[in-house]
Amino acid sequence: MLTQGPAQLQLRRKSARLSAVLRAASAVGAALVAVVGFAPPARSVWVAVAVVGLLLWSGLFIVLMFRPEPRSWLCAGDTAVVVVLCLAHGNLVPAEVLGASAGSGWIDMVAGSGIFIAQFGLRQPLAMAAAIAIAAAYAVGAPGIRDAPLIMVLQGLLGATVVFLLRHGARRADLALSEEAAARASARARSAARTDELDQQRLLHDTVLATLTIVGTGSITRDSAALTERAAADLAVIADLRAHPGVARDAAHEPAPLDVALRTVVLTRRVGLPSLDIEFDVPPLDLPHEVVEALSQAIAEALTNVAQHADTRAAGVTARRAGEGVTVEVCDSGRGFDPAAVPSHRRGLRESVYGRMRAVGGSARAVSSPGAGTRVVLRWEP
């Protein structure tokens, strides 16, 4: 069985409900006409059995058709019931109806609805075969030249055409939805790959490139024990990234304590850099794991910049609620700098701070000027 998309499944359910409504309306109407218009040569026993049987079948048909997954055998069973009634046509309607060239009796109501129900509920060519079987049974049940069987065949053709167009449209809609979903999945995959690439670049900047910068400025020499310790820490970060590339993403939306993460950053010793006296004011605060990670890594980079460039040993880390989000600041009273004059190849603020915050839907800005210290402000709202 071919897999059906959402549009085809919806069309199938709507068709089942329409079939149930058709059978209910035609059965009730036919029963009333059969009782009110009873006249010879119709036989009372035959009419009573036929009407009761039709109503019982219609009730069962309606109940089963409104189930979540209606079966096609219900429509085949409905066709069988209609065929039986058509074969008994001569014993169920008055003489005036039998003498009419076009069908106008209650059997015609049941037969017409049965033809449309078959078109909606059965696949071709079975649906058209059901229409022809009903027309043939009608002709056999009430012999004579009349237009009704031909009209029934035309009804079958009309119903088959309408259902074909509806199903074709549903298939096209499912194809369009599938292509759109594939495009979205591809875009998400490209975005995830780009995010991984940027994360790796930021980690390299914060570890290996930062260490090389310290070595290049002469802060530590290659014979220093601090260099060995720092290089080992950098390698551990890279090894963990390779061993567990998806762990962070899997836990991205789990809550995590921001205050604990920032306190860990503040207490972490920055090997090869001067120690800082940091004033810490962060209340207990839980945020999504990916946000806490982005904020803590951005704050770590900001503190590294203070230790490396600000020419001061004092800094402050504060956080406060901002609506449903948070604002975190790193302040120092050091030498300051001109943010607009930072070369394009310097990725510290641009990627390790600004980029990390953008990646989680937040923002960051650095307020500074030469000789006036620096204030890095990070904001995030859900």
Residue 350 CA to its chain's centroid (Å): 34
pLDDT of residue 55: 95
In sequence order, what E strands does the chain have? 255-257, 277-281, 286-288, 314-322, 325-332, 363-368, 374-380
Handedness of CA 136, 137, 141, 147 (dihedral sign): negative
Give yes or no for residue 282 having a pLDDT over 70.
yes
Angle of CA points 358, 362, 365, to nearest 5°: 80
pTM: 0.56
Select the highest-mean-pLDDT range: 104-113, 195-204, 228-237, 336-345: 104-113
Check pLDDT > 90 for residue 75. Answer: yes
Q: Which residues pair with 317 in a beta bridge?
A: 280, 330
Residue 256 has pLDDT above 50, yes or no: yes
Measured between alpha carbons, how far is 163 from 123 in angstroms, rounded to an integer? 10
Q: Average the pLDDT over each of 96-100, 161-165, 258-262 and give the range with the smallest value.
A: 96-100
3-class DSSP state of 130 = helix
pLDDT over 50 (residue 161) = yes
Measured CA to CA in angstroms, residue 268 lies from 32, 265, 299, 300, 352 at distances of 88, 5, 12, 9, 18
The pLDDT of residue 1: 42
User: How would residue 9 be classed by pLDDT, with cut points 50, 70 and 90?
Assistant: confident
Average pLDDT, the chain: 84
Tokens of 352: 């390790």
Q: Which of 246, 202, 206 is nearest to 356 (CA)?
A: 202
pLDDT tens digits along 288-329: 988 998 999 899 889 988 988 888 999 999 999 988 899 999
Q: Alpha carbon of 119 to those of 16, 30, 128, 167, 269: distances in Å? A: 11, 21, 7, 11, 77
Assess whether pLDDT exceeds 60 at residue 20. Answer: yes
Cα–Cα distance for residue pair 331/312, rounded to 1 Å? 11
Q: Which helix (H) or strand (E) holds 140?
A: helix 126-141
What sign for the dihedral angle of Cα 152, 155, 159, 160?
Answer: positive
Instruction: Output the pLDDT for position 251.
Output: 47
Strand pairing category for 277-281 and 255-257: unpaired
